[in-house]
Amino acid sequence: MFGRLGENLGSFYLSHRAWLVFWLVLIALELLHLKILFGGASYLAGGDNYTYLLLGRQKMYPYLWDNYYPFGVKSFTLPNLFGFQLYSQLFPFLSGPVLERIIIFGLIFLKFVAFVKLARLLSGKNGSWLLLPPILFLTFNAFASLNPFNYYQLLYSAYLPIFLYYFIKIFESPIFDLPDIVKITLWSVLASPVNANPALSATVFIPPALYLLVNFKKITPSVLKRLFLLAGLWLIVNLWWLWPLLNYFLSVSGEIINKDNWFTATSVGSLWQNFRLIGQWGWYGRHFLHAYYPFSTYYDQIGVMLLTFLIIFLSFYEATRHQAGDWLKRTHLYLLGLSLLGLFLVSGARLPFGFFYQLLFNYFPGFRIFREPFTKFSEIYALSVSLLFYLFLVSVFLKESRRLRLIIWIACLGTVAVVIKPAYLASGVVDYWNGSVRTARVEIPSYWEEFSRFAQENLSGQRILTTPRVAYGNAWNWPKGFSSGDDLAAVFTSPSVNVLRAPLTTGSVEEQAVEGFFKVAEEPAPASKYLALLGVVGVLQENDLDWRYNSFAADPIKMQTGLKKFLRPEISFGLFSQGYLDRIPNGDPNPYVRQELRAKLLGRPALTYYALPVEKALAKIYAPRAVVTSEDFSLEKAPALLALGETQAGDLYLSQKVPLTVNSSTQKSQLVSTTSAEVLAERVSLEVPVSLQFRQINPTRYSVTIRGAPRQYLLAFLERFDRDWKIYGQTQPGLIKSVDEKNHFLANGFANAWLIDVENFGGVESQDFTIEYRAQRYSFLIFPALLVGFGSTYLIFRSLRSRKYKL
Amino acid sequence: MIFDLIVILAFVAVGLKIVFPAPLSKILRINPRLALGASIFLVLLYSLTLLYLVILEPFSLTLILFTAVSLLVLSLIKRTSADLFFRNGLISLFGLAILASLRLNFLAEVLAVLSFVFLVGGFLSLFYDQNLDL
């Protein structure tokens, strides 16, 4: 048996020797790149890539109510289900750092494979070594150096050629190509996390659309049938994330997207730089002590500049040459068109055709998501130029003498080596101290892991607030790392604990809530009432957050003094000892700022969790004893009301009068401002059930048991208000109905409350209710995706078995 | 410095060899002087008009119409003209590389715009030739 196996392997090696060596070289090159990229650190993370710290600790979260966001939110990130969540679930035996290495290597390797397949398909040639220069150029060009380890960018850049490859195969196939249709659909599911960034994922359809346009004379009824089947299947298996995403954009963020005050970079850069894949808004910019991209000057050296243009020139030269044969003609025309279309999109609103872009940007619904065209469209341009570069090498190989073609290949490889140097050597990875920017090569301090364990065990299902106020792009004082786009507490407690924080200033309700807390934090009584109103059970003080580079944040001593007035420290994690502080980089040129770190941190814990006394905290679901009604109530107005002695911790705050009909008239009082004698609100006492118990079944479903209910009462539910939150009860035996939407109120400025009339539920005093996020009922849509996943895996294995020992 | 000079010379040599592999008359099948003169004249006329409109009337209807008509005209020109556009596009691209390396960024941008316009023109005329010329 072993003899035969050896024989087979031997013949396989002989027939595929060139390819085997080629792939081994690529793997070795990528492993070396990976080693340089990580630089010996455990994690590579920082800025928007802070999510890598979730690896290994995240669980599958298939719910349409996203608990990661403060107060929860209608989910638009369901595509992430098949990303880090799935990897963490499938490989619980792998640590986060190992998983991150596997993911980055896997995605770059996938990009290699996809490019090879696409290049071979388009050229009709089988040259392995000719692929090396274009592959390296595609993977490590100037654009790729900007974001060298971003998960979405890596996934997208692998998915783009895969999608195009299968699309062209299906289009050009003389037969009904069902296996390829299934494979492309499977890839769409595997690459679904990229859809968490819709501006990026939408561009995947641009190259196939242009292919149809360039080849529209070839569209026959048979091709149309295949394309319709592909579109239909794609839609069915992707509906599970597509539907909530569209739902979210249509209902919540449509107005946000169309806001004029978002950062836009449609007119940044210059076309001559775009030609060589340079044009990001911060390319020549600086922050504090360092340039954003210190290696940008490398690309401006005269020799490097000419060599970068040489590749572009050769690609366009190849595209514009006369070609023999219909297939090559069409391929060249298509790739030329794709390069020019990519360049047009990358250029945004600039000359020479930018006004078309500007028109689309101003008037085409949804086009505003492309507010940073360079980062969204450059991969399309890079892919088409790399394919043309490959075709150039193929034509050299076919026409020139053996000696000359070797010289040209070596020259091209040398040129590429010069061009890719910064990206390959990971110059784009920040590895220095720069104020609020810290090294992306990260080691997580053990106290965060300890806090994570504490939170999972003791705070599951609860809401906490973090101090000091976190801003987008904050730095944490760690020996190795760390800058983050979001609060680390959310990363280390997700998804079981809801963390109230507001890193972005968008006027959101969570921002109002956080601002409100810092307003009332000086006064103990309103502060604890305010936390209760928000459904918060405790506060995490992050002493390791570098307050010096955040104008919103107070220093640890000031924060601790304020919090201790009304909260008791329950547990602390980590300690800023002399030795530990020595290990934390602290490079501010101003000695006063530098010394402040030691002065404010020495001897203090890194994290302290303060618990709100149990008697002052509110459960997520409760029946309020009084309702305070104030016109246009919002969280901004809450501190003024809470400062009044008449309000109690369990009161519910509404901006509209509740149609109470029973036992309320005698218990009304008016809340009057102590300074201006103005009537601020009306407080009405309510009857409450004798007992209320609830259980969280999952983040979208709660069961509530009421005993001894009065004829009418309010039920508060401290998750973000959403019309899809419904409460169901039994109206008569066997008949379950929800409370009418007119009795569903916005409470406490962010939450839900329902007015329950016992008569509507059979008049019984004991009732079982279910609170449910109705949209979750559509989660069954995930099944077609899973079905296609299993089906196509079977098909792929079957086809591999029938093509034994073939690459 | 010596490295830079070698690269520039190599670049110029390779570029010239690629752009002019054979006499222009053979490539364009027309009088070479006429081809060169006509292309320079058209380039100047087109770029001056475009710059004038962009500076004086950015995002105006006139500019949009001008560009639309330009593209339409480009797309209606036959195959032989696609070569003309491509040659001009490549020459502009080559020129922009030289100008950019000499730090003449404004001129490089002008040539980049011209190169892009010519390449788009060539693409459209070729597309017309392959797909619409029924």
**One-letter amino acid for residue A21 of the chain:** V
φ and ψ of A514, to 5 deg: -70, -45
Cβ-contact A461, A619 below 8 angstroms = no
**CB–CB of B127/A216 below 8 Å?**
no
Q: Which ranges in B57-104 belong to alpha helices (H)?
A: 61-76, 79-101
pLDDT at residue B125, rounded to an integer:
76
As a whole number of Å, the end-to-end CA separation of chain A is 23
Question: Where does the pLDDT of residue B19 fall: very low under 50, low under 70, confident under 90, or very high at 90 and above?
Answer: very low
Amino acid at A501: R
Q: Do A303 and B50 touch (CB under 8 A)?
A: no
SS3 state at A792: helix
| Cα–Cα dist A407/A409, whole Å | 5
**Could you tell me if B4 lies within 8 Å of chain A, comparing CB atoms?**
yes
User: Taking CB atoms and an 8 Å limit, are B100 and A305 in contact across chains?
Assistant: yes
Give the integer Cα–Cα distance in Å for A501 and A511.
Answer: 7
φ, ψ of residue B22 in degrees (nearest 5): -145, 165
**For A8-92, where are the E strands, in sequence order?**
43-44, 65-66, 73-74
Q: Is A620 helix (H, G, I), strand (E, B) or coil?
A: coil
Strand-pair category, A483-484 with A498-500: unpaired
Contacts of A217 in chain B (CB under 8 A): 131
Q: Are strands A441-442 and A668-672 parallel, antiparallel or unpaired?
A: unpaired
CA pair distance A708, A766, nearest whole angstrom: 6
A687, with CB counted inside 10 A (0-12, 13-18, 19+), is middle
Is residue A558 classed as helix, strand or coil in its secondary structure? helix
A627: three-class secondary structure by DSSP: strand
CB atoms within 10 A of CB A791: 13
Three-state SS annotation for A660-697: CCCCCHHHEEEEECCCCCCEEEEEEECCCCCEEEEEEE
ω into A482 cis (within 30 of 0): yes
User: Cβ(A312)–Cβ(A385) under 8 Å?
Assistant: yes
Q: Where are the alpha helices (DSSP H) in A191-301?
A: 198-201, 206-214, 221-248, 254-257, 271-275, 296-299
For B116-127, the three-class secondary structure string (H helix, E strand, C coil) is HHHHHHHHHHHH
What is d(CA A540, CA B6) in angstroms, rounded to the nearest whole number? 62
- Chain-chain contact of A351 with B50 (C-beta, under 8 angstroms): yes
Tokens of A21: 């060596």
Residue pLDDT, tens place only, A673-699: 777 767 778 888 888 899 999 999 999
Optimal mutation site among B131, B132, B134, interface A, most CBs of chain A within 10 A:
B131
Give the CA distances from residue A781 to residues A83, A195, A726, B122, in Å, rounded to whole numbers and listed in that order: 18, 16, 21, 47
d(CA A499, CA A460) in angstroms, rounded, equals 11
- Find residues 89-128 of chain B whose CB sits inside 8 Å of chain A: 89-90, 93-94, 96-98, 100-102, 105, 108-109, 111-113, 115-117, 119-120, 122-123, 126-127
The amino acid present at A331, given as its one-letter code, is T
Q: Specify the pLDDT at position A559.
A: 83
pTM: 0.87
- In the structure, what pLDDT confidence band is assigned to residue B6 with cuts at 50, 70 and 90? very low
Q: What is the pLDDT of residue B46?
A: 60
- Ramachandran angles phi, psi of A623, nearest 5°: -105, 110
Would you state the pLDDT for residue A699? 92
Give the pLDDT score at A557.
86
Query: Quick one: pLDDT at residue A164?
Result: 97
Q: Higher pLDDT residue, A545 or B87?
A: A545
Number of C-beta neighbours around residue A329 at 10 A: 15
Size of interface A-B (CB pairs under 8 A): 112
Q: Are strands A767-773 and A725-732 parallel, antiparallel or unpaired?
A: antiparallel
CA distances from A796 to A142, A234, A243, A770, B117 (A): 36, 18, 28, 44, 45
Q: Is A300 exposed, middle or buried (0-12, 13-18, 19+ CB in 10 A)?
A: middle
Q: Provide the shortest C-alpha distance from residue A368 to chain B (in Å).
A: 18
Closest residue, chain B, to A216 (C-alpha): B131
Contact at 8 Å (CB) between A718 and A708? no
Tokens of A424: 């390959």
Specify whether the CB–CB gap between A642 and A521 falls below 8 A: no
Taking CB atoms and an 8 Å limit, are A306 and B123 in contact across chains? Answer: no
B59 inside 8 A of chain A by CB = yes
Q: How does DSSP assign A126-172, residue by residue?
A: --SGGGHHHHHHHHHSTTTTTSTT-HHHHHHHHHHHHHHHHHHHHHH
Alpha carbon distance B84, B130 (integer Å): 17
A720 Cβ contact list (under 8 Å, min separation 6): A71, A72, A73, A509, A750, A751
Q: How far apart, in whole angstroms, are the C-alpha atoms of residue A405 and residue A417?
A: 18
Measured between beta carbons, the chain A residues lying within 8 angstroms of B14 are 310
Contact residues, chain B, for A329 at CB < 8 Å:
130
Note whether A343 contacts B116, CB cutoff 8 Å.
yes
Lowest mean pLDDT among A610-614, B26-30, B111-115: B26-30
Average pLDDT, chain B: 65
Residue of A nearest to B86 (CA): A320
Listed as ranges, residues in chain A with pLDDT below 50 are 664, 804-807
Sign of CA dihedral B12, B13, B19, B20: positive
d(CA A600, CA A578): 12
Amino acid at A749: G
Please give the Cα distance from A13 to A19 (Å, whole number): 9
Contacts 24+ apart (CB under 8 A), A286-293: A287/A434, A287/A435, A287/A437, A288/A434, A288/A435, A288/A436, A288/A437, A289/A434, A289/A435, A289/A587, A289/A589, A290/A432, A290/A434, A290/A437, A293/A145, A293/A146, A293/A427, A293/A428
Residue of A320, A400, A408 to mutate, testing the B interface (most B Cβ within 10 Å of its Cβ): A320
Which phi and psi (to 5°) does residue A753 adopt? -145, 145
Residue with tokens 């595609």: A138
Q: Are A569 and A610 in contact (CB under 8 A)?
A: yes
In this predicted structure, what is the pLDDT of residue A806? Answer: 39
Question: pLDDT tens digits, residue range A269-317?
Answer: 899 999 999 998 899 999 999 999 999 999 999 999 999 999 999 999 9
Q: Please report which confidence band the pLDDT of residue B1 belongs to, taking 50, 70 and 90 as the band edges.
A: very low
Who's near A526: CB < 8 A, 6+ residues apart? A520, A639, A642, A643
A378/chain B closest Cα distance in angstroms: 16
How far is the alpha carbon of A289 from chain B, nearest alpha carbon, in Å?
Answer: 26
**According to the model, what pLDDT value does residue A257 have?**
55
Strand partners, A726: A772
The chain B residue lying nearest A326, using CA atoms, is B130
Please name the amino acid found at residue A277.
Answer: L
SS3 B63: helix
Helix (H, G, I), strand (E, B) or coil at A768: strand
Per-residue model confidence (pLDDT) at position A721: 95
The half-sphere exposure of A486 on its side-chain side, counting CA atoms within 13 A, is: 19
pLDDT over threshold 80, residue B7: no
